[in-house]
A and B are shown apart, each in its own frame.
Chain A
Amino acid sequence: MTLMLSEHPRRTTRRLTCEEVAAALPGIVDGNDEADRRVQHHVATCLRCQAELVHYRKLLRALRMLRTEYLEPAPGMLSSILANLEEAGERGAIRSLLSGRRAAYIGGVAVAATAAGAAGTVVLVSRASNRRKGMRLAG
């Protein structure tokens, strides 16, 4: 038996317009977004879009150059930042000191309460034993 393969209808793809390609250029200029094959084909054959792409590339290069350019901060700025940090450091130290003292205070109260409870128990036990001794002597 012979299989008859029907021929696939030939797909026709619409050509992109320059406006459609222009919308895609800001995304593909740095190579992060992969360009659609139709966009690639269009750019390869269109001077206008090639010029556009060159503009975007120049723009990116110029923006990257700004990275090495520093603005001059106002004269007192560094000392102001450091003073702020100093203050924050002191506040932090005081807070931790206070929380340390609070813990010590709570610990002290707990120890005192335990000691008082133990002493009370000792007193009660000794009183009871004295009472029993007294009853035995009277008997």
Chain B
Amino acid sequence: MSPDLTGLVTAAKTGDRSAFDELVKATYADMYTLAYRLTGNEEDARDVVQDAYLRAYRGIKRFRGDARFTTWMYRITANCASTQMSKRARTRHDELDDDFDLVDNQADHDPEQRAELAFDRDRIARALEELPPRLRAVIVLRDVYDLPHESIAAELGITEAAAKVRLHRARRKLRERLFPHRLELTVTEGDDAHAV
């Protein structure tokens, strides 16, 4: 559980640098984790976190306190990561397309073992890393960090409708990756489907 940071936030808003430093100490691992999940690499994640805390430091007086400090930081981090990824996309030509097919590299496991492993955290984390960045950003912010669609859209510079479409595509791709076999059915005429 994250500690109560209210006192530190109040002090930091009055210009108390040491209070802001304490806020950094309490939250930087969390922000680094988010940044890594969004950017997919350590170097970018470090830059994003540096940038996010600088922006937060400059803007702490404007923080109204109607959300938790960590939620506010998630939004700033998401925005910085989006900027960083745009910079990367401009310099990279091998950007993955949204329709890129995910390949299950663990196809040799038997079904029971697969089911056991399906929700192994490492597998989920790896599957997330393999998603195209635009889809990954939305599903991480919504399903891992619980940010509302409105905030996600604002920080990524897209519409709410686009955020939802990306979220659904990302969920579908992850499902395909983690549960590659769909239930096989036989359908008889005039009857409902039966599992086999």
Asked whether B118 is an interface residue with its Cβ less than 8 Å from the other chain, the reply is: yes
Asked whether A3 is an interface residue with its Cβ less than 8 Å from the other chain, the reply is: no
A89: B residues at CB distance < 8 A: 17, 57
Contact B28 A81 (CB under 8 A): yes
Contact A26 B21 (CB under 8 A): no
A11: B residues at CB distance < 8 A: none
Contact B146 A84 (CB under 8 A): no
A56: B residues at CB distance < 8 A: 171, 175
Contact A74 B42 (CB under 8 A): yes
A45: B residues at CB distance < 8 A: 192
Asked whether B168 is an interface residue with its Cβ less than 8 Å from the other chain, the reply is: yes
Partner of B183, one of A51, A60, A74, A86: A51
| Residues 58-83 of chain A, each 1 if its beta carbon lies under 8 Å from chain B, else 0 | 11111111110111111001101110
Asked whether B20 is an interface residue with its Cβ less than 8 Å from the other chain, the reply is: yes
Contact B54 A85 (CB under 8 A): yes
Contact B29 A70 (CB under 8 A): yes
Contact B179 A55 (CB under 8 A): yes
How many residues on chain B are close to A (CB under 8 Å)? Answer: 49
Asked whether A35 is an interface residue with its Cβ less than 8 Å from the other chain, the reply is: no
Contact B182 A60 (CB under 8 A): no
Partner of A66, one of B118, B121, B171, B179: B121
How many residues on chain A are close to B (CB under 8 Å)? Answer: 41
Identify whether the interface residues of B are mostly helix, strand, loop, or mixed. Answer: helix
Asked whether B5 is an interface residue with its Cβ less than 8 Å from the other chain, the reply is: no
Q: How far is the CA of A71 from the CA of B36 in the complex (A)?
A: 8
Nearest-neighbour CB distance to chain A for B81, whole angstroms, equals 14
The chain A residue with its CB closest to the CB of B29 is A70
B164: A residues at CB distance < 8 A: 27, 33
Contact B124 A63 (CB under 8 A): yes
Contact B21 A65 (CB under 8 A): no
Partner of A78, one of B20, B28, B146, B185: B28
Stretch of B45-53, B61-69, B84-92, B102-110 lying at the A interface: B45-53
Contact A80 B25 (CB under 8 A): no
Contact B49 A26 (CB under 8 A): no
Nearest-neighbour CB distance to chain B for A41, whole angstroms, equals 11
A80: B residues at CB distance < 8 A: 46, 50
Partner of B175, one of A48, A55, A72, A81: A55
A-B contact pairs, 6 of them (CB 8 A): A33-B164, A70-B32, A78-B24, A80-B50, A81-B24, A85-B57
